Structure 1
Amino acid sequence: MFDRRILGAVLAASVLVLPACSTLGNNESASSEGSSGFRLPSLPNPLGGGNEVSVEGIGVNGYLWRASLDTISFMPLAEVDPFGGVIITDWYANPDMTTERFKLTVYILDTRLRADALAVNVFRQVREENGGWIDAEASTETAYEIENSILTRARQLRISQLED
């Protein structure tokens, strides 16, 4: 089985910048769009058969994809690959704490809604006295909390889809 870091490096190397938002039709319902501008693909009822979720238009689990974009929507996006399941943010500094900044890479590794289908890497930098940035260790707890937030949001999206 591949190590997540190796798989992450391979996925990151193959990231293509896709203008995903420009492919959305003008007649699509705005009710299923979140702050990210991406539309949740129509998914079949998971209770009606096989274990895998069929996703139209993207190569990963639609709930995890949408939940990832919703959860990190406050950060600027640098690269987005809905077919490979990779989201890379640009550096983000909290306005209340300008001495550090963060960057995220989110990997969606499966078409099923499972905890092990998601991996988040957090990169952190701190400001030096001369104004430059140096790499610093990010807490593993931070990545864990972001993953949990994404999974919680994905479950909410799935439940709301089942109720419709």
Structure 2
Amino acid sequence: MPRRLMPRRPASGSSACRMRGASSWLSATALLSLTLLSACFGGPKSSSDLTAPRNHLLAEDRGASGGEDTLKGGVNAYLWRATLDTLSFMPVATADAEGGIILTDWYTPPATHDERFKITAFILDRRLRSDALRLSVFRQAKQDGEWVDTPTAGNTGSDIAARILSRARKLRADNGNRDD
């Protein structure tokens, strides 16, 4: 009986099989890339899209039509920003915009290496008022190689609070004195 000649299939480890696998992988990657790239083109934006508020990292943008001066959690945006600005020389451990809490890490002033400070700031209200801000300032001094809690000067907290409030008022004035 005559033998039929059949095309020979390459062995699974051969270079022809590897090339076919690489070719299909390359095709799939190119197809996926084109799909993802085409998702970037959403068409033209209408003018209402351009004036609509957009979410930002710490606050909601008011858009072109204005809006409230409060963050999502109900704290005053000017106090929040002013507190972050004023305490920016210290490392921030936690900043919760919704809860209105900023907690710094220990900070050692460059002039002294035997004392360090930590501040907790609470923003308690939506309005820009002096009683909407509460600060707790902690101080430790090094004694015999150990950090020991010590009292701060009586006016330290009130001085920092005054700077924060002054900065918040300036931010509000720069924004057209809005305090919704």
TM-score by length of 1: 0.66
Q: Is the 8 A contact 1:40 1:63 kept in 2?
A: no
Shift, 1:132, TM fit? 1.4
- Where do 1:4-43 residues align within 5 Å? 38=58, 41-42=61-62
| Distance in 2 separating the partners of 1:55 and 1:94 | 33
Please tell me whether residue 133 in structure 1 is matched to residue 147 in structure 2: yes
Identity of aligned pairs, percent?
Answer: 45
Structure 2: where are the runs of 5+ without partners? 1-55
TM-score by length of 2: 0.61
| Distance in 1 separating the partners of 2:91 and 2:119 | 10
Structure 1: where are the runs of 5+ without partners? 1-32, 47-52
Give the structure 2 partner of residue 116 of structure 1: 131
Between structure 1 and structure 2, the one with the greater Rg is 2
**Pairing partner for 1:66 from 57, 81, 100:** 81
Please tell me whether residue 150 in structure 1 is matched to residue 161 in structure 2: no
3-state DSSP of counterpart to 1:119: strand
Q: Is the 8 A contact 1:107 1:119 kept in 2?
A: yes
Between 54-63 and 134-143, the greater mean CA deviation after superposition: 54-63
| Distance in 2 separating the partners of 1:146 and 1:60 | 19
3-state DSSP of counterpart to 2:175: helix
Q: Is the 8 A contact 1:67 1:151 kept in 2?
A: yes
**Residues 31-60 of structure 1: CA deviation (Å, up to 9, x unaligned):** xx9xxx8568539879xxxxxx55243420
3-state DSSP of counterpart to 1:135: strand
Give the structure 2 partner of residue 104 of structure 1: 119
| Distance in 2 separating the partners of 1:87 and 1:41 | 21
Aligned structure 1 segments of 4 or more residues deviating by more than 3 angstroms: 37-46
| Distance in 2 separating the partners of 1:68 and 1:106 | 8
Q: Is the 8 A contact 1:41 1:55 kept in 2?
A: no
Q: Is the 8 A contact 1:42 1:55 kept in 2?
A: no
| Distance in 2 separating the partners of 1:141 and 1:91 | 19
